[in-house]
Structures are given as structure tokens and as C-alpha cells.
Amino acid sequence: MKLSTKSRYASRALIELGLKYGEGPVKLKDISAIQDISLKYLEQVMFPLRIGGYVKTLKGSQGGYILARHPNSITLLEIVECVEGPIAPVDCVDRPGFCGRSEQCVTRDAWIGLKNVIRSELGNTTLDELVAKQRQIDG
Amino acid sequence: MKLSTKSRYASRALIELGLKYGEGPVKLKDISAIQDISLKYLEQVMFPLRIGGYVKTLKGSQGGYILARHPNSITLLEIVECVEGPIAPVDCVDRPGFCGRSEQCVTRDAWIGLKNVIRSELGNTTLDELVAKQRQIDG
DNA sequence: CCTATATTCTACTAAATATATAGGATATCT
DNA sequence: AGATATCCTATATATTTAGTAGAATATAGG
């Protein structure tokens, strides 16, 4: 039941973008330094977020990343599922055919319930809120 | 965000024990056959459940496993945490020192919230309920 | 146009984790 | 005594995770 570093890094990177929302592009190099994340790895983490339409990029000098959507419309759930794939504590949750006994399996129902509360919790946390809290901490 | 097979196998094995609760020991060989789980692997999965006091064993001929506690006092959370260790979506949740920025990290608060809903959901599901549902399905 | 800069794309790698398999030791019932 | 079932330790394989590396592409500014 662990999130990978991709989810953690993506969340922290998008918070940095949220802090600078409306102020032009932010370089990964800066995020990498501030958040202490390998630049090269961060590049890979950001890739699906661009494909998913959460960030836009500007190449070349003075380029960087900006949020493609308002922070209040982006949830943690979207970030996590974008970089990590659909959340399902067990494979049979999304693919009943994964296990031949899915039809008669009572644990599967429990795993489905678990998936739902996880998605609900993450879906109710917006980037906006996280950025606001971060501003409070930074003072 | 995946549970390992240990959690899945342990849950299904304990349901089998719950179905036979009060009827004497159940052999892993039988559970292995019914649930289609490798016997040798199942032995390893059951080990922490014995140490944790969830099952008792009887060695030798006519031996096997029995629940050490009433099914209504065992939750999915206990089973999962027993075989898989404490549930925490991110290491810093239980060990703030894991990451130097824990004190100023807003995502950590989110991961703590996530941990809480996961534990709450699993903690509210008892083995009793699962066994009852299974009996309904089996007819 | 040229250069520095930043992203983009592809490939590769080391380490950790998950998922078992194997074999013998130990205990117990008949 | 023999069959049976758990107990314990070691080993193996596959997958995933978490990164590294390097060249290609695009852009701003001089």
C-alpha cells in the first residue's frame, strides 16, 4: 500500500507550479533544487502530466513549466492516477477477469470499498488547498 | 497503491478458517486446493498470523489451523497489517525523519489523511461479515 | 545567425521488492 | 512405527522502482 516516488514528486512539483501560478514558466532545474529531486528523473515524472493536460511547457531559454489548469480544478487523485495509473488496491477490482473467482469472492467487495474511499479522499484534496497551506507555512 | 498477494491470500485463508470456526483444525493443504494458492507460499503467509495471535496450529496428523480469536473481533486491517506491516502510503507518514522536509511538507498531511481513511475502512470490516457474505454466496 | 538554455525522447542500469520453490526438521495422531 | 502436517531456513526468479545517461529539438536573446 505504498505510493511511488512518482506520485510524491509530481505532487510536490505541481505545488511549486501552483505557488508561481500566473507568474510565467518555472524551470525543472529550480524545482529540482528546491525539492531535492533528480532533474533527470523529474523530467520523466512530468511527462505524463503534460500528456494528461495538467501542465504546459515552453522549450528553450527562459522556458519551463506552467499549470495548464487552475489549481482549484486539479485534485491529488488526478495527479496520482496520471503518473501512477488507476488506483486499485488489487488488480481484480478494475479487471474482474484477473482472477477466476471474482464472482464468488467476498474479499473483492472489500477491496472495491477500499478503492472507493481512497479515491474519495484524494479526489477531495485540491492543489489549490495544498498551495494555500504551503503559503501559510512559508509565511 | 497495491496490496501484496500476502494480504489477499491471508484474507482468503482466514475466511476459510472462519467458515469452519468451531469445527476443528483446517489443513493448509485444503485451503491451498480450495483457494488455489501455493501450499508452500501459504505456509509463509500464515506464519505472522500465528505470531500475531490470530491463528493457532496443531501439528501432526489431523492437525491444521484454527482461528485463535472470534471472527467478529478480527478486522481486515489487522490481517493486512499483520502480514504486510503497518499501512502507510508514504514512509514519512510513520517516520517523519524519513524525509528532511517533513515539517514543512503539505503533501505529508495529505498522505496522513489518506492513511487514516484506509485504516478506517479496513478496520470497519470484520472477518465475521466476510464469512457471513461468503455463506450467502455458497448457499 | 549563434549560443546558451531548457525541454524532449530513448535507452540503459542498479537495487529493492514480490512471489514464489525447495528441502529437511519437528511434532502429533493412529 | 509410520503417515501426516506444520515449522524453519535458504534459494531463485520476475517485476517494479528509482534513477542515470546522452543526444535531439526548440526557443530567447544578443
B97 touches chain A (CB under 8 A): no
Which chain A residue is nearest to residue B93, measuring alpha carbons?
A2
Across chain A, mean pLDDT equals: 97
Around Cβ A61, how many Cβ atoms within 10 Å?
A: 5
How would residue A139 be classed by pLDDT, with cut points 50, 70 and 90? confident
Q: How far apart are CA A64 and CA B113, in angstroms?
A: 32
CB contact under 8 A, B3 and A3: no
Which nucleotide is nearest, taking the CA of residue A85 and each C1'?
D16
Q: Which residue is nearest to nucleotide C21 (CA to C1')?
A: B40
Over the stretch B3-36, which tens digit does the pLDDT of each residue have? 999 999 999 999 999 999 999 999 999 999 999 9
Q: Backbone phi, then psi, for B67, in 5-degree steps? A: -70, 135
| pLDDT tops 90 at residue A9 | yes
Tell which A residues from 6 to 45 touch B, by Cβ distance under 8 Å: 8, 11-12, 15, 35-36
- Chain B residues in contact with A91 (beta carbon < 8 A): 2
The shortest CB-CB distance from B114 to any of A12, A122, A130 is to A122
pLDDT means per 10 residues, chain B with 139 residues, are 98 98 98 97 98 97 97 98 97 94 95 98 98 96
Calculate how close chain A gets to B7, using CA atoms only, in Å: 10
Calculate how close chain A gets to B53, using CA atoms only, in Å: 21
A vs B, Cβ pairs < 8 A, gives 95
Calculate how close chain A gets to B133, using CA atoms only, in Å: 7
CB contact under 8 A, B114 and A118: yes
Tell which A residues from 70 to 89 touch B, by Cβ distance under 8 Å: 76, 80, 84, 87-89
Over the stretch A51-106, which tens digit does the pLDDT of each residue have? 999 999 999 999 999 999 999 999 999 999 999 999 999 999 999 999 999 999 99
| pLDDT tops 90 at residue A16 | yes
Single-letter amino acid code for the residue at B72: N
Element (H, E) at B107: helix B106-123
Number of residues that this document lists for chain A: 139
* CA atoms in the 13 A half-sphere facing the CB of A65: 27
Calculate how close chain B gets to A61, using CA atoms only, in Å: 30
Q: What pTM does this model have?
A: 0.96
Single-letter amino acid code for the residue at B41: Y
- Cell numbers 481512497 correspond to A118
Q: How far apart are CA B57 and CA B16, in angstroms?
A: 15
The spacing between the Cα labelled CA in B104 and the C1' in C8, in angstroms, equals 32
- Chain A residues in contact with B89 (beta carbon < 8 A): 1-3
Average pLDDT over residues A115-131: 98
Average pLDDT over residues A105-112: 97
Question: Thinking of the domain A5-84+126-138, which architecture would CATH place it in?
Answer: Orthogonal Bundle (1.10)
pLDDT at site B139: 87
Distances (CA, A) of B139 to A18, A101, A106, B111: 55, 16, 14, 41
- Chain B residues in contact with A119 (beta carbon < 8 A): none
The spacing between the Cα labelled CA in A61 and the C1' in C2, in angstroms, equals 14
